[in-house]
Amino acid sequence: ILTTLKPFGSVSVESKMNNKAGSFLWNLRQFSTLVPTSRTMRLYPLGLCKPKIVHSNWNILNNFHNRMRSTDIFRYLFQDAFILKSDVGFQTKGISTVTALRIDRPLYAKRLFFDSKHSLVSVDKSNDGLKKVNFHHEVSSEDVLTKETKPNRISSRKLSEECNSLSDVLDTFTKAPTFPSSNYFTAMWTIAKRLSDDQKRFERRLMFSHPAFNQLCEHMMREAKIMQYKYLLFSLYAIVKLGIPQNTLLVQTLLRVTQERINECDERCLSVLSSVLEAMEPCKNVHVLQMGFRILVDQQVWKIEDVFTLQVVMKCIGKDAPIALKRKLEMKALRELDRFSVLNSQRMFEVLAAMNHRSLTLLNECSKVVLDNIHGCPSKIIINILQSCKDLQYHNLDLFNGLAEYVAATFDIWKLKKVSSFILILFENLGFRPVGLMDLFMKRIVEDPESLNMKNILSILHTYSSLNHVYKCQNKEQFLEVMASALTGYLHSVSSGNLLDAVYSFCLMNYFPLAPLNQLLQKDIISELLTSDDMKKNVHKLHILDTCLKLDDTVYLKDIALSLPQLPRELPPSHPNTKVAEVLSSLLGGEGHFSKDVHLPHNYHIDFEIRVDTNRNQVLPFSDVDTASATDIQRVAVLCVSRSAYCLGSSHPRGFLAMKMRHLNAMGFHVILVNNWEMDKLEMEDAITFLKTKIYSVEALPVAAVNLQST
């Protein structure tokens, strides 16, 4: 009901006041037919405590002209009236614009009170313009009662400091619920972060069984549409992190309200909303919120001022975000590059990996900052940088060398587990061979073999065999013996799959420990490997093991025969090496002097085969091979290899290529490696000169042929 005040005439001040009071009483009599004779103010469903004040009748309003002491009734009557600030006046001529605040029913958390600065407007048409009449409000006993019965608002920080458990927070809520309810959830999450995992699980069970928990959830759902947007996001984040199931009505309701009010999101809320989306599992409402979040970011990206907020938003935007939005965020980050702190530069790797966007400019600039401030860099940051480089396929040799040198320089303060299971594994995934660090690590293993567990053994063997590091190391034999001895100590508990992985790594390094091999070659172990879920991978490794036993220098194991399923033939390269074929044809005088895509025993494949005499004077046509003696022929295998076959930034072959070269030598071949990326850059004449040097030079001939020629 909107109360309309009647205009007063242009009479004396005292008469005006009487007329105003009479007019007001007339309005009150109109209400008497609508308002009950008694009114009780009850507890609102939102948990707002209002005083329970009962007015027996409306006769108290007869003394309304006596300074209006019944403030609650006065407040009731004017819930729909316009309340104006007294310092905003009206002009004597014309009408000035006045800012008014309308009070709508119901009065939720933010209750409005009349005070000495508030006034009601009445219309006086007898004089020029509008006039303002103030109804001053004095503090009554009922105001004191209202103030005493209304609970004081308590912050989430104070709650988390005063309470020691989640149940304590719920107990506080039970005693005197206050608005907003988000403070209770935020306080509970703050407390939960201080607890151990076991304590969290125990406290969660107590929280779910607490009688006030359902009531708090109901309050939260009812308040969601009226609380500030940032509190809504804080509460949703806390609820998700507390482990409340995502398919509950509470979480889904908050998600829907968050979607509806997303236009209220400012820069700070963008950061919180990013954390919320990152913490939640995929579902339909989360997907809709993610789409709205992307649209909002696209509109506000140029308004973001804080670099940290920008990085949080970029990290949350998702790998499947539109490429146009990713580039817009990249441009915004490039604009703010001068404001990046060291921490911002370190985090940029993880941010770009999270959005799956490989910005070379950003990565290169941040790499320089990381290297300039490498001293004191935490191990977690280094691991995150290497993991992000792997995800983005970003290979920066200077960055990797700097990180490896720093780890080697501070090696004494690093835990063995972090170096073996994280740093070295990540370097191996990147194809980078940190020589100094790996040598230092080998020395530590030899000195302290007792520190090894099964996981360390597997990761160390994989790293050193994949990067082919022990090939020319001085303490190679000692290191391999220590690793074999450590593996032998776990043979009673090691799984068949882990045992195969360890022995396979030893085979790549041309080392064959007897105890692990004998256990692996047992029929029940082989049968288990051939029937497991990873059968194809296991069969491939067992074939390589069988090849190593037959071709490598393992006299005591050559008689072992494994009955294994046949492997498919190694496929030729998808892109034929046409340029190498043209160069060989031009150099050797036709295709009859070499063979392409040659398949060899033990499932090996070579790109080209050439046959020359032992004096390296000429290349023999394949038609003359049958008439020539086998001792007069030298077989040459030409392998066209990619960059990934070498360690990053070097010509050092990785484990599988090194093993293949070793086995080809055992089969009587001399191996020539042709780098595809280098051959593509050479002109035809330079390419011919390169291959001619490889085939006919003294260095390219086997040692035995060189010795025979010198003799």
Q: Is the pLDDT of residue 101 over 90?
A: no
CB atoms within 10 A of CB 702: 16
Residues in a beta bridge with 40: 54
Q: Is the pLDDT of residue 554 over 60?
A: yes
Give the global pTM. 0.73
Q: Is the pLDDT of residue 113 over 80?
A: no
Domain of residue 599, residue span: 578-696
The conformation of residue 63, written as its DSSP 8-state character, comes to G
Q: Could you tell me if residue 649 is inside a domain?
A: yes
Peptide bond into 601 cis (omega under 30): no
Pairing of strands 604-613, 594-600: antiparallel
pLDDT tier, 555 (very low <50, low <70, confident <90, very high otherwise): low
User: For the packed helices 229-241 and 182-193, what is the interaxial angle rounded to 10 degrees?
Assistant: 40
Give the three-class secondary structure for 224: coil
* CA–CA distance, 656 with 625 (Å, rounded to integer): 31
3-state SS, one letter per residue, for 638-682: EEEECHHHECCCCCCECHHHHHHHHHHHHCCEEEEEEEHHHHHHC
Higher pLDDT, 252 or 101: 252
For a pLDDT cut of 90, what percent of the chain falls above it? 46
Q: Could you tell me if residue 623 is inside a domain?
A: yes
Q: Is the pLDDT of residue 522 over 50?
A: yes
Q: Could you tell me if residue 41 is inside a domain?
A: no
Q: Could you tell me if residue 673 is inside a domain?
A: yes
Residue 532: C-alpha distances to residues 59, 526, 529 (Å): 91, 10, 5
Give the three-class secondary structure for 391: helix
pLDDT tier, 506 (very low <50, low <70, confident <90, very high otherwise): very high
Pairing of strands 39-40, 54-55: antiparallel
User: What are the backbone angles phi and psi of residue 347, rounded to the nearest 5°?
Assistant: -75, -15
Alpha-carbon 125 to chain mean position: 69
Q: Give which of 423, 370, 424, 360 is closest to 395, Cα–Cα.
A: 360
pLDDT tens track for 573-631: 656 678 898 888 888 877 778 888 888 988 898 999 998 887 767 788 877 655 555 66
Q: Are 390 and 420 in contact (CB under 8 A)?
A: no
Average confidence (pLDDT) over 314-336: 94
The conformation of residue 553, written as its DSSP 8-state character, comes to S
Quick one: which H or E segment has residue 441?
A: helix 435-447
Q: Give which of 173, 279, 183 is closest to 231, Cα–Cα.
A: 183
In the numeric block, the tokens 């394949």 are attached to: 622
Pairing of strands 101-102, 118-121: unpaired
pLDDT tier, 203 (very low <50, low <70, confident <90, very high otherwise): very high
Q: Could you tell me if residue 116 is inside a domain?
A: no
* CA–CA distance, 203 with 209 (Å, rounded to integer): 10
pLDDT given for residue 127 in this prediction: 41
Average confidence (pLDDT) over 368-380: 92
CB atoms within 10 A of CB 152: 6
Mean pLDDT of the chain: 78
Query: Which pair of structure tokens corresponds to residue 4?
Result: 């309309």
Q: Give which of 396, 393, 387 is closest to 366, Cα–Cα.
A: 396
Q: Could you tell me if residue 622 is inside a domain?
A: yes
Q: Is the pLDDT of residue 665 over 80?
A: yes
For a pLDDT cut of 70, what percent of the chain falls above it? 72
Q: Could you tell me if residue 661 is inside a domain?
A: yes
* CA–CA distance, 357 with 683 (Å, rounded to integer): 35
Average confidence (pLDDT) over 157-162: 85
* CA–CA distance, 184 with 165 (Å, rounded to integer): 12
pLDDT tier, 552 (very low <50, low <70, confident <90, very high otherwise): confident
pLDDT tier, 632 (very low <50, low <70, confident <90, very high otherwise): confident
Instruction: Look at the chain and report how many structural domains it folds into.
Output: 1
Pairing of strands 669-675, 633-641: parallel
Give the three-class secondary structure for 619: strand
Pairing of strands 82-85, 101-102: antiparallel
Q: Could you tell me if residue 200 is inside a domain?
A: no
Which residues make Cβ contacts (< 8 Å) with residue 167, sequence separation at least 6?
A: 203, 206, 207, 210
